Amino acid sequence: MSTHFSGPIVSTGGFEGDLTGDVTGDVTGHVTVTTESIAATSTGVQISDDTDFATITSAGANNIVILPDPVVGKVVRGANVSATACEIRSSTPTAIAINNVTGTGKEAVLAAGASFEATCKSATAWILHNYGATGTMTNPVPD
């Protein structure tokens, strides 16, 4: 069954469900952001596929956080709230690039107190931006 409305639609309780079709005009409402707390480890801990924001802690500069499996258009953000840096890598570093770099053990540094934004641009590529404590943005090269 298809229901069509004309004129303004107002809900005091919010709308739930899937949206199909086109939406035009002003849209306001509630957006749910999925968060996750992760403790980086020496073998790596993967950010869940449905996570939008990851709060990361790390006890060692060589500890690793792994980006979710690639889904084109996926954006994941996070922050390293530790006093220690960590590494961030793709789920398959030999085949899935970060900032156009692939290879065995390729990881980018996420400084202590820094935040990041990773955008999946294809099934084999992520673009990673890091933001320092002062807001300075860098595009780290995995090494």
Is 117 inside any structural domain?
A: yes
Is 21 inside any structural domain?
A: no
Is 9 inside any structural domain?
A: no
CATH code, 84:
2.60.120.640
Name the stretches of the chain with pLDDT < 70.
1-21, 23, 25-31
Is 7 inside any structural domain?
A: no
Is 30 inside any structural domain?
A: no
Inter-residue contact 55 to 38 (CB < 8 Å): yes
Is 28 inside any structural domain?
A: no
What is the number of residues in the chain?
Answer: 143
Is 85 inside any structural domain?
A: yes
Give the span between the Cα atoms of 21 and 88, in whole angstroms: 37
Instruction: Give the residue numbers spanning the domain of 78.
Output: 35-138
pLDDT attached to residue 139: 92
Strands 86-89 and 125-131, sheet pairing: unpaired
- Number of domains observed in the structure of the chain: 1
pLDDT attached to residue 1: 43
